[in-house]
Amino acid sequence: MTAPVLEQGATALSASGLRIGYGGKTVVDDISLTIDKREIVCLLGGSGCGKSTLLRGLAGLSPAQSGNVSFLGEPLLEPHPRAALVFQQPSLLPWLNVEGNVGFGLDFARQPAIARDARKQRVVEAIEAVGLAARAHAYPAQLSGGQAQRVALARALARQPELLFADEPFSALDAITRAEMQTLLVDLVHRWHTAVLLVTHDIDEAILVADRILLMAVQPGQPGKIVREWKVDLPRPRHEYAEGVAGLRLDIIKALREGA
Ligand SMILES: Nc1ncnc2c1ncn2[C@@H]1O[C@H](COP(=O)(O)OP(=O)(O)OP(=O)(O)O)[C@@H](O)[C@H]1O
């Protein structure tokens, strides 16, 4: 594994005065935030408040109407090779097996050049890390939904990203698989020294995974905004009935009801 670019505590991503929308319409506004290296930040909010729009803007997939995003100290205007994305749908290529899908993307022109042996090693390491070594030669049609999402996670991690953008990656999975994947995600990003921006509308997911929770809300006719923030200092591994979880859940529900 190559050494991470930043020291712990350094800022991986920052945004200030960000406004993003489609056509003439503004969907999110007045967004200023930072994500530290190795930090897991959850963007939590109800349906339609603009979470995915904000994630896309922060990842360089949607242009900002105003404001700016900085990644690894440089202005971000397009997707960065040291950032990776995972979505709700794993979007695997059906004609490639697990190894092929995990390696896919390492050879893109904008990716750092990588020697053949190192490439092979990264793919093998990432597949082992998500627990799929025995299925390395299986094709997507032969995988369960949870296994397919593990492949998508391995594909992202093989790029050794400084920051992983994850847009509701587990929301299509059953509750048991989702819980397994939440634990796996935290374990992997801690081992890979990767920061995460996780979009979710699941309060418990945010509490179980996050170092920090940013709550988004939208008022009728207004763009979505970040309205509250919680630093989550609960010990890990976390579970639903751990001390402090119920209190934080209630606090978040109250803030959601009040719109702030
Ligand atoms: N490509 C697009 N073109 C025009 N409007 C869009 C586009 N994508 C999203 N929107 C609008 O932006 C608003 C916010 O959508 P967005 O998907 O960002 O919200 P969200 O909080 O992620 O919702 P959900 O949790 O349901 O996925 C919605 O009103 C949506 O209709």
Q: Sign of dihedral through CA atoms 55, 151, 163, 237?
A: positive
* pLDDT exceeds cutoff 50 at 50: yes
Q: What is the DSSP string of 118-129?
A: HHHHHHHHHHHH
Could you tell me which of 77, 72, 68, 137 has the C-alpha nearest to residue 102? 137
For residue 191, the model assigns a pLDDT of 92
Q: Residue 31 C-alpha to ligand 1 middle, in angstroms?
A: 16
Q: Are strands 11-22 and 163-167 parallel, antiparallel or unpaired?
A: unpaired
Ordered by start, the domain boundaries in the chain are 1-82+162-260, 85-159
Once rounded to an integer, what is the mean pLDDT over residues 179-189?
Answer: 94
Q: Are strands 25-36 and 11-22 parallel, antiparallel or unpaired?
A: antiparallel
Q: Are strands 11-22 and 66-71 parallel, antiparallel or unpaired?
A: antiparallel
Q: Residue 52 C-alpha to ligand 1 middle, in angstroms?
A: 7
Q: Residue 238 C-alpha to ligand 1 middle, in angstroms?
A: 31
Residue nearest to atom 7 of ligand 1 (CA): 22
For residue 41, the model assigns a pLDDT of 98
CB 135 within 8 A of CB 54: no
ipTM for the complex? 0.96
Could you tell me which of 41, 64, 39, 66 has the C-alpha nearest to residue 54? 64
Position in ligand 1 atom list of the atom nearest CA 199: 22
Residue nearest to atom 17 of ligand 1 (CA): 52
Q: What is the DSSP string of the chain?
A: -PPPSS-TTSEEEEEEEEEEEETTEEEEEEEEEEEETT-EEEEEE-TTSSHHHHHHHHTTSS--SEEEEEETTEE--S--TTEEEE-SS----TTS-HHHHHHTTTTSTTSPP--HHHHHHHHHHHHHHTT-GGGTT--GGGS-HHHHHHHHHHHHHTT--SEEEEESTTTTS-HHHHHHHHHHHHHHHHHHT-EEEEEES-HHHHHHH-SEEEEEE--TTS-BEEEEEEE----SS--TTSTTHHHHHHHHHHHHHHT-
pLDDT digits (tens, 9 = 90+) for 186-221: 999 999 999 999 999 999 999 999 999 999 999 989
Mean pLDDT across the chain: 92
Kindly state which CATH superfamily the domain 1-82+162-260 is placed in. Answer: P-loop containing nucleotide triphosphate hydrolases (3.40.50.300)
CB 132 within 8 A of CB 116: no
* pLDDT exceeds cutoff 60 at 4: no
* pLDDT exceeds cutoff 50 at 3: no
For residue 28, the model assigns a pLDDT of 97
For residue 114, the model assigns a pLDDT of 78
Using CB atoms within 10 Å of the CB of residue 152, give its burial: 0 to 12 exposed, 13 to 18 middle, 19+ buried: buried
Residue nearest to atom 16 of ligand 1 (CA): 50
* pLDDT exceeds cutoff 70 at 5: no
Q: Residue 187 C-alpha to ligand 1 middle, in angstroms?
A: 30
For residue 111, the model assigns a pLDDT of 66
Residue type present at position 29: D
Once rounded to an integer, what is the mean pLDDT over residues 172-179?
Answer: 92
